[in-house]
């Protein structure tokens, strides 16, 4: 069973996808972490994320086992990730890796949950269930602000919720308006607006959709 979970940043898709993978005993791949790892590699080499050659080289050298889960979560890396993700050669370089994960999930799991921006449209167009998770920009900024200040402590003291909202708005625009696999719901995706839902309520709604769609 393949479950595709797409949506904009801080919509709750990552938390939801992780919970669904546990509930249905499926493997889980956060595809955003791949673009983040490519971006971090470019930044660490002192290159510009807008440099096509540097981004492609980093994508071709991507090794899932060495992704630094903490270092890829900064605001700088988020921004750079959406820049490298707009480059078609970068996307192509890590496409097979994602499809292979879905086709042969690790740990002998019987399927996988993948979350990202183009899972239902490009990576797994034949997924058994597709969810498109949304939330208002203001609510997403509130969630991301809490997450960043919680994680970065004092280093985030200069950060305001308004900065986070502006960053999300810029990233949304880049993700939705790019020509390479833009963020959009697949025609057969189930839309789930989590603006007013708790994590548990969003999970229950998604679980019900999956139980009905793929019994």
Question: Which residue stretch of 20-28, 43-51, 81-89, 156-164 sits at the interface with ligand C5P (rule: CB under 6 A)?
Answer: 81-89
Nearer to ligand C5P, 81 or 206 (CB): 81
Contact flag: residue 117 with ligand C5P (CB under 6 A)? yes
Nearer to ligand C5P, 151 or 211 (CB): 151
Nearer to ligand C5P, 19 or 117 (CB): 117
Torsion 62-23-18-213 (CA) sign: positive
Footprint on residues 119-178 left by ligand C5P (CB under 6 A): 171, 175
Q: Concatenated DSSP letters for the chain? A: -EEEEE-STTSSHHHHHHHHHHHTT-EEEETHHHHHHHHHHHHHTT--TT-HHHHHHHHHT--GGG--TTGGGSHHHHHHHHHHTT-HHHHHHTHHHHHHHHHS-STT-S-EEEEESSIIIII-TT-SEEEEEE--HHHHHHHHHHHHHHHHGGGGTT--HHHHHHHHHHHHHHHHH-SSS-S---TTPEEEE-TT--HHHHHHHHHHHHHHH--
Question: Which residue stretch of 55-63, 79-87, 133-141, 195-203 sits at the interface with ligand C5P (rule: CB under 6 A)?
Answer: 79-87
CB of 212 to ligand C5P, least distance (A): 25
Nearer to ligand C5P, 26 or 72 (CB): 72
Nearer to ligand C5P, 184 or 207 (CB): 184
Contact flag: residue 118 with ligand C5P (CB under 6 A)? yes
Q: Which of 2, 16, 43, 81 binds ligand C5P (CB under 6 A)?
A: 81
Q: Which of 58, 85, 133, 186 binds ligand C5P (CB under 6 A)?
A: 85
CA-CA distance, 31 to 152, in Å (whole number)? 23
Decide if 193 contacts 134 (C-beta within 8 A).
yes
Q: Which of 3, 9, 94, 112 binds ligand C5P (CB under 6 A)?
A: 9
Positions touching ligand C5P (CB under 6 A) are 9, 31-32, 35-36, 78, 81-82, 85, 116-118, 171, 175
């Amino acid at each position: 069973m393949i479950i595709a979970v797409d949506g904009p940043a801080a919509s709750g898709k990552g938390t939801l996808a992780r919970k669904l993978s546990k509930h249905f005993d499926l493997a889980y791949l956060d595809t955003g972490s791949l673009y983040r790892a490519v971006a971090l590699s470019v930044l660490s080499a002192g290159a510009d994320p807008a440099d096509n050659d540097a981004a492609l080289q980093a994508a071709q050298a991507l090794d899932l086992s060495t992704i630094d889960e903490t270092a890829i979560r900064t605001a700088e890396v988020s921004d750079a990730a959406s820049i490298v993700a707009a480059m078609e050669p970068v996307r192509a370089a890590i496409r097979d890796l994602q499809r292979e994960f879905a086709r042969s999930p690790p740990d002998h799991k019987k399927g996988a949950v993948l979350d990202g921006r183009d899972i239902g449209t490009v990576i797994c167009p034949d997924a058994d269930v597709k969810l498109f998770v949304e939330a208002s920009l203001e609510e997403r900024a509130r969630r991301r602000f809490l997450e960043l200040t919680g994680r970065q402590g004092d280093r985030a003291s200069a950060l305001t919720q308004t900065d986070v909202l502006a960053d999300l708005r810029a990233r949304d625009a880049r993700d939705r308006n790019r020509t390479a696999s833009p963020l959009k719901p697949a025609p057969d995706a189930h839309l789930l607006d989590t603006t007013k839902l708790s994590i548990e309520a969003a999970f229950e709604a998604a679980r019900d959709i999956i139980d009905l769609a793929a019994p």
